[in-house]
Structure 1
Amino acid sequence: MKPTDPKSLTESAAGVFTYRSYGLVIRSEIVLPEFDPATPGGAPVQVAIRRGPVALPEGVRALGAWFEFSDSGVRFWWQAVGGFAVSADGSEVTVEYGAGVSDDLIAFPLLGPVLSEVLRRQGLFVLHASSVAFEGQGLALMADKGTGKSTTATALLRAGARLLADDLVAIRPDQNSIVPGFGQVKLAEEALTQLPEGSAVPRPHVHDQIDKIRVLVPGLMAPEPVPARRLYVLVRGGGSEARIERPATGEMVPALLRFAYADRFGRAGPQGAEAARQFRDAVAVARHSAVRRLILPDGVTELDKVIAAIRTDLGEAP
């Protein structure tokens, strides 16, 4: 049965769906085919997603985008999509649909910035990155937009890796493990050829301003958490070779904080005790995982050189 078939979802009589993702049991009033279905009434529900109004300050609905972090949680607003509220402990998410907005469009912020706050508030360190389990090791690929983290991740999948996450990489700082998320990647059209044959289920285009293709790859997911071994910062080198460099020790934590998902919110993001916890988590992750710079060659035809460089690097001492 295709992953996008609604009949493959686990649904209660009340139209509420039960899923499992990032090690969490999620009860949702919104259809999310990206997530793995779970059996209702099994493990305790840790996150509840419901439809409903989101209280917003006066004037916010006239803005294109807005968000606010506080001790009671975080609220988001996108005029083209709707409003979202996450509780202080990340256990509840309220979703207010904009007029005419589909579940597919709601899923873009819901499974991005909104879910990042759910995970962070559940005690995970969240990177804006892609991640795979490769030859028994957990790898995270961090990069600025357009550098090629998803393309590199799919090349690793073609080489036998298993997907841990694309876009939201969640690490348990106390265990130094990367937790599997959900089986979807977002790719430029030319990168689709890097996926193993027969593994991809492209999804419909949603919005004119979204240029990447969403592809379900549930059969390529890693089944369980994997120790975080290497955290690569991807850089375009402008040549035909791939190489891996060791940054100075003092550069490792700043690199992780730069690519922490919460950093995307700037100064309006986590403050005070929450910001201090984010720093402590980054230190813990950097202490147990090796941060490296991965210099990429130009062109998708050279990605086999990237795989070879990673294999060599993993064979070296931590």
Structure 2
Amino acid sequence: MTASANVAKALKGMHRYSSYGLSIQSDIVLPELAADTSDHKMDAPVVVVRNARISLDETTRAQATAFAFDETGATFWWQTVGRFHVSHDGCDVQVERAAGVSDDLIAFPLLGPVLSEVLRRNSMFVLHASAALIDEQGVAFLADKGTGKSSSVAALLRAGASLLADDLVALTPGAGHIVPGFSQIKIAPENLAHQLAGSDWVARPQVHDAIDKIRVLVPGAIVREKPPARRMYLLERGTGDVARIVPLPGAQALPAVLRFAYAARFGEGALRGADAGAHFRAAVDAANTIPVRRLILPGSLARLDGLAEVIRADLAQSEPR
């Protein structure tokens, strides 16, 4: 048992959640995550999220945002939110919030960049992407912020698909299965009116003026199994009225996967030595295992209702390998 697992065993009275195949014990209230009411399973990694004091040098403290990676793990700093430290084994997350910051605001970086590092250190390959299960087939949407990842997933959910993850897509190494995340998507306010699917979707209040997305809980939509990923779609915004899929030259698949790997957001310092090699091999496996396509979205995200049919038609095609 690791040192962090011993910490987990010793802590009592914490909130218990389950997400991305992890058993999470947390001092932070995280309503986005599914409650874990089962007895602890020895094969589910335990991750402890706890309030703690984290040392930070004055040079880093003076910056608005900073990341640091060393032999102890990874440290994240947002001046207006707080400090976070992920242990080397990815099983212990320390949180020191800035004065007056609520659990609701802490959840934004905790369930984004910080969680991505937890997943990577628990042997998953993490993409800046969103994913859904449509007709029992996993599809992932890779794109820069604001292109339409969450809106594309929402369109599939309205057409009967199930949610796998939003913003963080975790793949099992080698096999290329998508590990389910939690039942929330984030949608731009201007797209909210035509993205909500029904009364059970709950738009949550904004907690900071600088946050430009609305969190929407989609209860009951999350998948529990780990389906194989059948497609990765590189999203682009077009000018037409309907979505269309075009081929991507094979030589461009690996660069695309590496570009949208979540760790790439932290720069070269995040991956060193053996970690860098493992990351590259996981990207190669994903690019070789999962077909990659370009998906040109309509000029207006209000015109995504036909996206499911476009995806289904593409999935029905045999794949030349």
Contact 2:116/2:262 (<8 A) preserved: yes
Q: Which runs of 5+ in 2 are unaligned?
A: 1-10
Matched, 1:71 2:75: no
In structure 2, distance between residues paired with 1:133 and 1:33: 23
Q: How does 1:128-167 map to 2 (within 5 A)?
A: 128-167=128-167
User: 5 Å matches for 1:121-132?
Assistant: 121-132=121-132
Aligned partner of 2:33 among 8, 32, 35:
35
Maintained 8 Å contact 2:191/2:302: no
Which string of whole-angstrom CA distances, capped at 9 and with x for unpartnered residues, describes residues 42-92 of structure 1?
Answer: 324511111001122233222211111123210011110110000111011
Q: 2:18 — aligned with what?
A: 20
Cα distance between partner residues in 2 of 1:241 and 1:101: 43
After superposition, give the CA deviation of every residue in 1:138-173 in whole Å (9 maximum; x if it has no partner): 010011111111111100000011001101110102
Shift of 1:113: 0.4
User: Any idea what SS the aligned residue of 1:226 has?
Assistant: coil
- Whether the aligned pair in 2 keeps the contact of 1:155 and 1:195 (CA below 8 Å) is no
Instruction: After the TM superposition, list the runs of 4 or more consecutive aligned residues in structure 1 that deviate by more than 3 angstroms.
Output: none
Measure how far apart 1:40 and its partner are. 6.4
Counterpart of 2:289 in structure 1 is: 288
Deviation per residue, 1:269-316 (Å, 9 max, x gap): 212221221110011111211111001111134213322221110001
Identity value in percent: 54
State the match for 2:250 in structure 1.
Answer: 249
Alignment-derived partner of residue 306 in structure 1: 307
Which TM-score applies when normalising by structure 2?
0.92
Task: State the TM-score, normalizing by the size of structure 1.
Answer: 0.92
Matched residue type, 1:62: A
Q: Is the 8 A contact 1:179 1:226 kept in 2?
A: yes
User: Which stretch of the first structure deviates more once superposed, 61-70 or 104-113?
Assistant: 61-70
For the aligned residue pairs, the C-alpha RMSD in angstroms reads: 1.7
Provide Cα deviations, 1:242-263, integer angstroms capped at 9, x if missing partner.
Answer: 2112211111011011011101
Deviates more, 1:211-220 or 1:121-130: 211-220
Q: Do 2:148 and 2:301's aligned partners in 1 also have CA atoms closer than 8 Å?
A: no
> What is the CA–CA distance in structure 2 between the aligned matches of 1:256 and 1:276, rounded to whole Å?
15
Q: Which moved more, 1:77-86 or 1:44-53?
A: 44-53
Aligned residues: 307
Q: Return the alpha-carbon distance in structure 2 between the equivalents of residues 237 and 204 of structure 1.
A: 31
Q: Give 1:199 deviation, angstroms.
A: 2.7
Can you give the 5+ residue segments of structure 1 that lack an aligned partner in the other structure?
A: 1-12
Counterpart contact for 1:199–1:219, Cα < 8 Å: no
Aligned equivalents of 2:305, 2:84: Cα separation in 1: 41
Shifted more, 285-294 versus 295-304: the winner is 295-304
1:72-121 superposed Cα distances (whole Å, 9 cap, x missing partner): 21001111011000011101100001111100111111000000000000
Distance 1:294 1:40 in 2: 40
Q: Which residue of 2 aligns with 1:7?
A: none
Q: CA deviation at 1:197?
A: 1.0
CA distance in 2, matches of 1:182, 1:195: 17
| C-alpha separation in 1, matches of 2:38 and 2:166 | 26
Aligned to 2:241: 240
Cα deviations across residues 207-257 of structure 1 (Å, max 9, x unaligned)? 000111111112111121111000000011222232112211111011011
C-alpha distance in 2 between matches for 1:203 and 1:195: 12
Q: 1:96 to 1:40 in 2, by over 3 A?
A: farther
Specify whether residues 300 and 71 from structure 1 end up closer, same or farther in structure 2 by C-alpha distance, changes over 3 A only. same
SS at match of 2:255: helix
